[in-house]
Structure 1
Amino acid sequence: MEIQVFTMDSFTNLPFKGNPAAVCPLAHELNDDLYQKIAAEMNLSETAFVTPINPSDTFTSGSRFLLRWFTPTVEVNLCGHATLATAAVLFQYKKNINPTLVFETRSGDLAVSKKKDGYLMDFPLNPPTQVDPKEFKDFIRVTVGNLPVQGVFLNTNMRKLMIRLSDSCDRAMLTGLNVDPTTLLAIENEGKVKGIIVTVKGSADHQPGYDFYSRNFSPWFGIPEDPVTGSTHTILGSYWSKELGKTKMLAYQCSSRGGELELEVRDDGRINIGGEVVTVLQGIIRL
């Protein structure tokens, strides 16, 4: 059996930046064990498997597809950068004729449309709830050390803990964090927290005027640090929209690769996430 595979860098217009995802278009579904083995072999933060829902559809004519995402160790419920990458593959290489594609996923229907520069995803919004920092003091210590913290928040749906640094901190302090994934795993093994987001307010003085910065650590999913995470911006976008009093924002995730996300929080409880995609590899998996 031969499976076509693409490696796409999402949320960037430069190769080797943004977040790489592998995309495998499949004529029909495979078994979960094989999905997981392929994802482990690709060894990227996510590998996406996309199949037509209607047997009469092709990747060129169809508008609805089944989409699943696997890290090297587990299947996940929501992934932004691999969804963006999948849409780019279907639009660019399969020459899909529809202006919008809808993916049926574990998180419901996710739509992706073409725009002038890149693509626009329609995602659910995941507001966080403020929590007592004392309950998560070990996470805070291991993640941000002695940096001042302005607030700690939890989204129970995604099991993501969000730590907001004080406004006295800047991007350089966030970038300078050195987080040990092994220590994080030792703190939490009950499943209450499956990822940590650290964020700080942006500065309008520095072009292009990012509204906020973030980093994302998910060793519980086999990802010590995710380079650019669309799904966590369903949390970050909800939070910062209220804090900044604006619905349209420009965000930057400042991992070593880095990536830019355009956000728009909507009145219907959803969020538009926009970004560009670059192809870095095309190939065949032979089984």
Structure 2
Amino acid sequence: MEIPIFTVDSFTNLPFKGNPAAVCLIENELRDDLYQSIAAEMNLSETAFITRRNSMDYSSGARFGLRWFTPTCEMPLCGHATLASAAVLFYMKKNVNPVLMFETMRGELYVRQHEESLIMDFPLNKPNPQDQHEIKNLLKAVVGDVPIQDVCYNPTTRNLMIRLADTCDRSELTSLKPEAEALLKNESTGKIKGVIVTMKGAPTAQPGYDFYSRYFSPWLGVLEDPVCGSAHTVLAAYWSEKLNKKKMLAYQCSCRGGELGLEIRDDGRLNIIGQAQIILQGTLKI
């Protein structure tokens, strides 16, 4: 069996920045263990698998199945690999439709082109206040002695969100180096699958980021996800309320870095806007 495969850098207009995802075009559904083996072989934070619907081809079809796997497990929602999947269909397969619909574990996701960017229609996941005392050891393992302003939790994504104090400098966020072993040791209940660390941005300075973040998820086999779209479904809900803004520009300041446009719509869903660069095309032989 030969499977077309692509590597795509998401949420960036430069190669080797943003978040890399592998994208596979699947003619027929594979066994789950084979999906997982391919994702482990690719060893990226996510590998996406696109299947056709209604017997249409990749150039004319508007509806596709989409699944995402980390090197160790299947994910219910993934932003950067959805962006990467749409990029492959629009840019490589020259898909003629203005909007693509992906059937996923979290329902239908829509992606459309807008100038040089792609716009994804995603759910919004509002976080709730979290008692810091219950997880004080985990907080210490993530941020050390850096002061914390707020801690929230979203049960849908199972993401913990830590907001650093406004007195912090961006360098304090970028210099965090949590160890996977310490995070796993201090959270083994299964309640938390990822930790978002965020801080207020500098909207008056160019290019005007409203907030910064980083994302750690060793529970899913990824110590740090370079630019996480699904984490921004939580971040957008939180910061929109704090900043009283529906349109925001965010930057995830991992070592690769990535930029996301965010817009909370009147229907309560979230537009995530980003660019993508296809850097590798090949054939997977199994």
TM-score bin (small chain): over 0.9
2:85 partner letter: T
Matches within 5 A, 1:260-279: 260-279=259-278
Match status 1:257 vs 2:256: yes
Give the secondary-structure state (helix, strand or coil) at the position aligned to 2:191: coil
Q: Distance in 2 between matches of 1:229 and 1:127?
A: 16
For residues 145 and 58 of structure 1, the distance between their equivalents in structure 2, rounded to whole angstroms, comes to: 51
Q: In the TM superposition, what are the counterparts of 1:100-119 in structure 2 within 5 Å?
A: 100-119=99-118
Q: Which residue of 2 aligns with 1:85?
A: 84
- Structure 2 stretches lacking a partner, 5+ long: none
The yes-or-no answer on 1:10 pairing with 2:10 is: yes
Q: 1:283 aligns to what SS in structure 2?
A: strand
Matched residues in 2 for 1:124 and 1:173: separation?
A: 30
TM-score, normalization: structure 1? Answer: 0.99
- The residue number in structure 1 matching 2:222 is 223
SS in 1 for 2:109: strand
Shift of 1:69: 0.1
SS in 2 for 1:237: helix
Q: Offset of 1:206 from its aligned partner?
A: 2.4
What code does the residue aligned with 1:36 have?
Q
Query: What are the equivalent positions in structure 2 for 1:31-110 lying under 5 Å apart?
Result: 31-55=31-55, 57-110=56-109
Cα-to-partner distance string for 1:100-124 (whole Å, 9 max, x where unaligned): 0000000100000001121000000
Aligned counterparts of 2:204 and 2:121: Cα–Cα separation in 1: 30
Opposite residue 148 of structure 1, the aligned amino acid is P
Amino acid at match of 1:221: L
SS at match of 2:116: coil
Task: For residue 245 of structure 2, give the secondary structure of its aligned residue in structure 1.
Answer: coil
Look up the equivalent residue of 2:128 and give its one-letter code: T
1:28 aligns with 2:28: yes
1:233 aligns to what SS in structure 2? helix
Report the residue type matching 2:6 in the other structure.
F
4+ runs deviating over 6 angstroms: none
Question: Which amino acid counterpart does residue 286 of structure 1 have in structure 2?
Answer: K
Q: Which runs of 5+ in 1 are unaligned?
A: none
After TM superposition, give the deviation of residue 226 of structure 1 in Å: 0.2
Distance 1:135 1:270 in 2: 31
Percent identical among aligned pairs is: 61
The alignment yields a C-alpha RMSD, in angstroms, of 0.7
| CA drift at 1:188 | 1.3
Partners of 1:240 and 1:16 in 2: how far apart? 28
Aligned to 1:8, the other structure's residue is in SS state strand
